[in-house]
Structure 1
Amino acid sequence: MKFGVRDYLLKPTDRDQLMEVLVRCRKEKEEARQRMLSEQRKMLGDLRTTVEESYLYEGLQCREFHAVYQKYRERLKFRGEILHACICNYVEERFLAEAHKDIRRILNKYGIEMEFPAVYVKNTVVLVLNIPSVTLCKQLAGNLESLRYRGQLVSFTVEFVQDAEEALWNMIFGRISRFNRILLLDEAGESSVISNDLTSPWKLERLREEILYLEPKRIQEILEGMFSQFSTDTEAAKNFTMGLYLKLNSDDSEEAMEIACDFFRSLRACRKVGEVREMCFRMAVGSMRPEEKRSVVDMIKSYVNSHISDENLSLKWLAENYLFMNVQYLSQLFIKKEGERFSDYLNRMRMEKARRLILTYRSDNIKDIASQVGFESNPRYFGQVFKRYYGILPSELIVQPHNREVTGK
């Protein structure tokens, strides 16, 4: 403990002054300790931000994501849990700082911490959260979608994706890897820019693998998102299109080479990014060989997986509004491929998802579970279907021991 000269000259009998000095010294020592802790926290925070930036950068640059995940798992305290990706769409960058502040306020209100700093790409904020219930997901979505800012053109929309931690991160990297400029936001809302090379060979290969299994409309959406980043940089757009063409067309026959030369000549003649985008889209769809195109049944199953909470989902609706095909033909095709009727398949998918939700959250309201799997208006019927499939009611499954296995019929 340090004393000034005046403190050393105090008389031993001057008790009040001595106590005053002791209190002041203790206070000064505590203030110094707090300053040191604050500096340490800042240093660790800066280091963690650096690690998180490195994680994103390596995850974007490395083809083998599993290796990157394992490398950073301990450093970033990943726990391998079931997590949620909260994806907030239509967040314009001019509102980003304010929106980030409000998002943190809403999360604090519900006692939810972010497992990773917010990531921002092209009007989209991606949050990694650990949310304990479906009900809370719905409440969060409502709060986030109600955010409004002066001059805002489109209301925010929120979607949640739930998965095991590594699989969830793999999905997130799949989404953000399509953008050349990615922002990582710290607690104060300050952003770090992470540049992403869209034309690297393995990214073009990843894009190729992805679009081979998508319908043309979805391919167009992906390409429009990517081309929007080129702005007026026509040369960058051409380089990207050339790289993707070479990935999609590996045939080296004489005829294929002539087609490629014609394509590249036409590409060089383009003067605007929009013209390049249209060429890229036609090429991406046209170069898919029939055996590589996703089957109609696969498209149905993918749609069901993404819209399983829709009560009106039916094969008739899909035939008339999504696939534009004859419903009887579609029904026969589905039975031939899957060995079961579409209605049976849909119920099975709904019950399997309901079971996963119940086993994950345990204490959730059955009505909330029912609404997540397409039975919002009739939770009683949901219980009947669930019991027919698993032999017990949803409420009975909730109270069962965690280690007891329940299988469907």
Structure 2
Amino acid sequence: MLKVLIADDEPYVREGIKNIVPWEEVGFYVCGEGSDGDDTYNKICKLDPDLVLIDIKMPGKIGLDVIKESIDNGFKGKFVIISGYSDFEYAKVAIKYGVKSYLLKPIDEDELYDIAVNLRNEIEEEKNKLRNIEKQKDYVKEYSLSQLMLGKKVEDYEELTNSLDYSSYSVALILNYDEKTKNENLIELESCIKQKLSNLNGIEVCKVKDKVAILFCDVNSNHSFNILNSINKEINKCLKGRIFVTVGQEVSSIDDILLSYNTANELMKSRFLFLNEEILTTERIREISKKRFLLEEMDIINKICTYVEIGECGKIKELLKGLAELIQSKFYTEDEIKVLVTKNCLEFYDKIKSDYEIDKNLILDNEVIIKEIYSTESLKEIIDILEKRLINVSKVISLNSSDKSIKRIVKYIEKNYYTDLKLELLAEIFNYNSAYLGKVFKGHTGMSFNTYLDNIRIEQAKKLLMEDNIKVYQVCEKVGYKNIDYFHSKFKKYVGVSPLNYKKQIELGKFKELV
């Protein structure tokens, strides 16, 4: 609704004007009253009315002075003069300042009504024209900005750069990656973002291909991150679909926003890896790239398989998290991740089926595993599936394998012989009393824990000694002995010769019977 200000030094005149016209019906509401020239001028500056009905002669500034000063100060509203007598000179000056009508007192109700209606139509038409001009300007600016981000020629380049004169710039990209809704929702997505950011300075929004781009100008990274988080929540409320947000490198020149756009667009390629993160930034990528891991993916996968077999669900979750972080740090593609996971999953499932007496109906068949993994949209989904499936397999093994406890312990020893293994540690891991475990273990394997461990280590040492360039001390460390002399004595006890002599005789072909 439009605003009208009524200015007259006579209160009864102001009251009469308020009541003789049904202002709200016409499309106005009375936003204020002026009792003298100075008061009226201040009200115009403060309230910015669309229409001012003003008495030509009031205490303080006269009406024409109020009109002149208001217009000189940039006021765009309409004036209608009210006077107690007709004065041609006043009328001429009033016309010069664009006064729309000249009403004589006593005011004719119908005349004022007609003037109000005509001026309402005129004001609304002008406002619509201005809105259309602004929309056109906004469209041109947004189009030019999108072209600049794509590295294309911009016709009104100077005008654009002058309107974006800042010291820093960064581009954020927002993608609706839901295949069903992404095309139809792009305009709605842009509209939602514009509405959210309409009151903020230094921010521009435009469509670039299938994404919405936000240009942050002189906005620090923490503030832009908070803004994007807020947008994320707003979009989740008002739109169907799923979005992914990336933020490009900050640059210091408008000419370099192509670089910021390109880095943000490049980050979009990592969506599968980082979909669980609300906003992906170049700083986050640098942080991940600097991470160092003690184990490679196959080492982690082998450890996961071990913990599945011995029922350590907490360790499975911990290692899967580590595997995800390692994969992220190597920036594998979606296909590479799915091939890696599917291959190892199928191999492990086949091994479990052959090693344990398990009802095959209790474990998913290969086709279901492949379909489940390849239908995922993110690394997080894969990790969640693996966690669920592997913990289920672990429980199935625990419930269905014969002699399950000792077999699990034996498998653990076979896979971890090179670590500092002790009976007490195994008892703690598998919830046994150590003395009782020692008896049960010997009953199952026919030998004590220490002898069993020594046998495995010495057999592994014999295999390693067959390698050409390996030293005895290296073999000692690889099979889990900390003391070289102790290793010598154990090796000689089980093999009959020292490790060095064994290696020499292997090289001469004289120890085939021990290989």
What's the TM-score bracket when you normalise by the shorter of the two chains? 0.3 to 0.5
The TM-score normalised by the length of structure 1 is 0.36
Q: Answer 1 or 2: higher relative contact order, Cα 8 Å, separation at least 6.
A: 1
Structure-2-length-normalised TM-score: 0.30
Larger Rg: 2
